[in-house]
Amino acid sequence: MISIKNLSKVFKTKDQTVNAVDDVSIDIPKGEIFGVIGYSGAGKSTFIRLINRLEDPSEGEIILDDQDIAALRKEPLRKKRQKIGMIFQHFNLLWSRTVFENIAFPLEIAGVPKRDRDEKVQELIDLVGLKGRENSYPSQLSGGQKQRVGIARALANDPTVLLCDEATSALDPETTDDILDLLVSINEKLNLTIILITHEMHVIQKVCHRVAVMEQGQVVEQGEVLNVFVKPQSKTTKRFVQQLSPLEHQIDRLDEFITDDQQSEVVKLHFIGNNAKRALISEVSKQLDVAINILQGSISPTQEGAYGTLYVEIKGEPTVIQEAIQYIEASGVEVEVLKHV
């Protein structure tokens, strides 16, 4: 368990005081992939640098394995840092060293004997899928391969926590998915707690169990990814969710698809888990005297199950339309009426 309590970081200059991280409290269970998302300047990168003390906190506690990292000094802090791995957006590899030597570097610093070091490095190379590239230099690798080296290096000292600071931002979409799949695999194989900083909701959706949304140094919302997707509370969270549902604020563009020959309701349906696999629209049409026009929809997988959104027009007599909506709600699907036609 990582327990972060009332964590703050204040930067002071002659002209201003900046609360980069402002009274943040988060609990992260062991073995969880926890996402922190926010726009540029939200404080998320400062937050992750506080966790391994690349920045010193102004206030608060960072409890890891029953130790307050914020209170550690010099030698105890150095030893604790060895159990906190970190990967970066721009890889931070040693360009004059091979893949093998880059991964071995933290083991050298830790004083691990060469035989044990070589065995560990080869194990990590196999784990991250770099077999055959041991003697390559970073300049000979693709972006995804460089990040795999960075991940292997971060795992060299068997950390209990892996921090990822925008680890996929410099990668193309296909390579991003490959790296995210690798992180999920590592999380499952090693029961490793991962804290992932990003500004991309797709990354949160694909790999995280829970998420915190940051704005101006504060956590404005946190919870299970599935719940945050279905019922975003803050304006910032809603903007991020819109990245995955671009139609959210474009409902007026559906007018050309909506019929006007009889009364209808345009509704948005939220499907969660097994309900996303159910032929509910077909059921409603058979059970009740309504016609249903599907306008737009999507189903997205998350670590906690499938999440689907469907926009439909329900046509028929007003009382029967209400019966159809009640039938859908009784099936465990959330209904939001968007427009009366």
Which structural domain, as residue segments, surrounds residue 252? Answer: 246-340
- Give the count of domains, the chain: 2
- Residues 228, 271 within the same domain: no
Q: Of 190, 212, 244, which one is at a domain's C-terminal end?
A: 244
Q: How many CB atoms lie within 10 A of CB 277?
A: 11
- Residues 227, 276 within the same domain: no
- Residues 258, 224 within the same domain: no
pLDDT of 262 reads: 60
- Residues 142, 61 within the same domain: yes
What's 71's domain CATH number? 3.40.50.300
- Residues 228, 294 within the same domain: no
pLDDT of 255 reads: 58
pLDDT of 272 reads: 75
Q: Is 132 exposed, middle or buried (0-12, 13-18, 19+ CB in 10 A)?
A: exposed
Q: Of 244, 267, 302, which one is at a domain's C-terminal end?
A: 244
pLDDT of 82 reads: 87
- Residues 172, 208 within the same domain: yes
- Residues 187, 148 within the same domain: yes
CA atoms within 13 A on the CB side of 14: 0
User: What is the full DSSP assignment across 151-163?
Assistant: HHHHTTT--SEEE
- Asked whether the beta carbons of 53 and 46 are under 8 A apart, the reply is no
- Residues 81, 172 within the same domain: yes
pLDDT of 47 reads: 95
Of 118, 116, 120, 145, residue with least CA distance to 130: 145
Which residues, given as ranges, of the chain have pLDDT below 70?
245-262, 273-277, 339-341
pTM for the model stands at 0.83
What's 325's domain CATH number? 3.30.70.260
- Residues 295, 176 within the same domain: no
Q: How many CB atoms lie within 10 A of CB 299?
A: 12
Of 44, 140, 132, 151, residue with least CA distance to 96: 140
pLDDT of 293 reads: 86
- Residues 179, 295 within the same domain: no
- Residues 183, 97 within the same domain: yes
pLDDT of 256 reads: 56
Q: At a CB cut-off of 8 Å and minimum separation 6, what does 303 contact?
A: 33, 184, 206, 207, 208, 209, 225
- Residues 237, 256 within the same domain: no
d(CA 290, CA 326): 13
Q: Of 244, 266, 298, which one is at a domain's C-terminal end?
A: 244
pLDDT of 257 reads: 56
Structure tokens at 258: 């909506």
